[in-house]
A and B are shown apart, each in its own frame.
Chain A
Amino acid sequence: MAISREEFDLIRSFVHEHSGIQIGEGKEYLVENRLTVLMVQNGCKDFIELHKKLVADAGPLRAKVVDAMTTNETLWFRDASFFSAVSDFIVPQLMEKAARQPQVRIWSAACSTGQEPYSIAMLLDHARRKSRGQQAPPLEKFQILATDISPSVLVIAAAGRYNQLAISRGMREAFLERYFNKTGTMAYEVDPAIRKLVTFQQFNLKNSFDGLGPFDLILCRNVLIYFSNELKAEIYRKLHARLTPDGLLAIGASESPRGYTSNFEQVMVGGAALFRPKKGS
């Protein structure tokens, strides 16, 4: 029995309501693959019954459904042109900032299994080493907050342990040597000094951003594409409010806040387009 239209629509709207994430047309198999087990385990004969249960009971089942539907893939230094902009231009700017201000804060807003925040942490350390430690600010000045809606991916992210396959997806040889320790079980562990820079926390972008930041750099790449237009506008507004006046927002190469808010202006950094709060906005 394949999932019916009615079942698909019910689950879709539930996931959207509770995570903000939109499951696209044609993704029936994703719902079927990931949720049938929960359906059977909870004594439901179909997704209509599961939906009833989800609506009636705010307990752990809801979190499990959202978790199951929001696992995403990731890789190191995802998008080469973006990361060359980060290492050539953004990291040097952040270094200068760290010399002037007590803290530099960075937020990786949908970090999945941790490759993005660790990549940034490695680039910061790399830049410090290149400057031979002369005037380079100490690493402790940098704080990287890494969040994701899925608690399961955060367990993996916080462990900072990756296998050969995960490493082969974008990790540079020189960085592998410097920033990873090989473990007995054929895996690579992120160096504790790099791991210490990153704090992992479960967070739903639908929620209030009060108490977060302000951030000098926010990475929210290829995340908002899964949200409805209404939520996109709301999240762009909240991101704007959590950036420092000269802070930068990085989104996916195919994304733009245009059409959702006029509070950002585009800045070209290296070959990559980033966004910063408009003056006076």
Chain B
Amino acid sequence: MIKLLTIDDSRTIRRVISGIGAMLGFEVLEAENGAEGLAVLGEHVHEIGLVLLDWNMPGMNGLEVLKSAKANPRIRHIPVMMVTTEGERDYIIQAIQAGAVHYQTKPFSQEEMATRILEAMGMGGA
């Protein structure tokens, strides 16, 4: 079964994303900071189909986590979507240039997030 990984310091957001994953038929793994997220990613490298990554977190920020994941040959192939309150164009450009496949700003509706996840995984239909 394909799994998603949400890396977010907010349990509210992790719970919302887990619910959306369930709707799409995916199990969702959770990590509450970047270091933990990278560890989970390394451990479940063959199961995780998409990482949903917050930007502002204590410790490593999302961009640092993204760069670290992309620099690691074992996990660099796993697509990453940023999920963050940072909605400015410069942030989006930085993330895409660092290797994120998609970018979803908070707040989001369930439908919006669900369709973005499908798109990021190449299952969106469009």
- Quick check: B92 and A63 within 8 Å, CB to CB? no
Which chain B residues lie closer than 8 Å to A193 at the CB level? Answer: none
Asked if B110 is at the interface of the complex by the 8 Å CB criterion, the answer is yes
Number of interface residues of B (CB under 8 A): 34
Which chain A residues lie closer than 8 Å to B38 at the CB level? Answer: none
Asked if B71 is at the interface of the complex by the 8 Å CB criterion, the answer is no
A63 to chain B, nearest CB (A): 5
Question: Which residues of chain B from 59 to 93 have a CB within 8 Å of any chain A CB?
Answer: 87-90, 92-93
Once the chains are docked, how many angstroms separate the CA of A156 from the CA of B116?
12
Which chain A residues lie closer than 8 Å to B18 at the CB level? Answer: 186
Which chain B residues lie closer than 8 Å to A156 at the CB level? Answer: 23-24, 111, 114-115, 118
Asked if A150 is at the interface of the complex by the 8 Å CB criterion, the answer is yes
Once the chains are docked, how many angstroms separate the CA of A151 from the CA of B21?
18
- Provide the B109-126 mask, 1 if CB < 8 A to any CB of A, else 0: 111101100110001111
- Quick check: B125 and A154 within 8 Å, CB to CB? yes
Q: Which of A71, A152, A153, A155 has the most CB of B within 10 A?
A: A152
- Quick check: B87 and A37 within 8 Å, CB to CB? no
Of the 9-residue stretches A121-129, A159-167, A172-180, A221-229, which lies at the interface with chain B? A159-167
Which chain A residues lie closer than 8 Å to B89 at the CB level? Answer: 1-2, 32, 36
Asked if B105 is at the interface of the complex by the 8 Å CB criterion, the answer is yes
Once the chains are docked, how many angstroms separate the CA of A66 from the CA of B118?
16
Which chain A residues lie closer than 8 Å to B123 at the CB level? Answer: 155
SS class of chain B's interface: helix, strand, loop or mixed?
Answer: helix
- The residue that A152 contacts in the complex, of B19, B26, B109, B118, with Cβ under 8 A, is B118
- Quick check: A187 and B25 within 8 Å, CB to CB? yes
Question: Which residues of chain B from 33 to 72 have a CB within 8 Å of any chain A CB?
Answer: none
- Quick check: A71 and B112 within 8 Å, CB to CB? yes
B106 to chain A, nearest CB (A): 10
Q: Which of A2, A63, A155 has the most CB of B within 10 A?
A: A155
SS class of chain A's interface: helix, strand, loop or mixed?
Answer: helix
Taking CB as reference atom, which chain B residue is nearest A150? B115
Once the chains are docked, how many angstroms separate the CA of A113 from the CA of B114?
10
- Quick check: A155 and B125 within 8 Å, CB to CB? yes
Which chain B residues lie closer than 8 Å to A152 at the CB level? Answer: 114-115, 118-119, 124-126
Once the chains are docked, how many angstroms separate the CA of A154 from the CA of B93?
29
Which chain A residues lie closer than 8 Å to B27 at the CB level? Answer: 185
Taking CB as reference atom, which chain B residue is nearest A29? B87
- Quick check: B87 and A32 within 8 Å, CB to CB? yes
Starting from the known contacts A40-B97, A151-B125, A156-B115, 16 additional A-B residue pairs (CB-CB under 8 Å) come to: A1-B90, A33-B87, A40-B92, A60-B126, A71-B111, A71-B115, A112-B111, A113-B114, A151-B124, A152-B115, A152-B124, A161-B25, A163-B19, A165-B110, A183-B25, A187-B23
Binding site for A on B (CB under 8 A): 16, 18-27, 87-90, 92-93, 96-97, 102-103, 105, 109-112, 114-115, 118-119, 123-126
Give 16 CB contacts A-B under 8 Å.
A1-B88, A32-B89, A36-B103, A41-B96, A67-B125, A73-B111, A74-B111, A113-B114, A150-B126, A151-B124, A156-B24, A156-B115, A163-B22, A165-B19, A185-B27, A187-B22
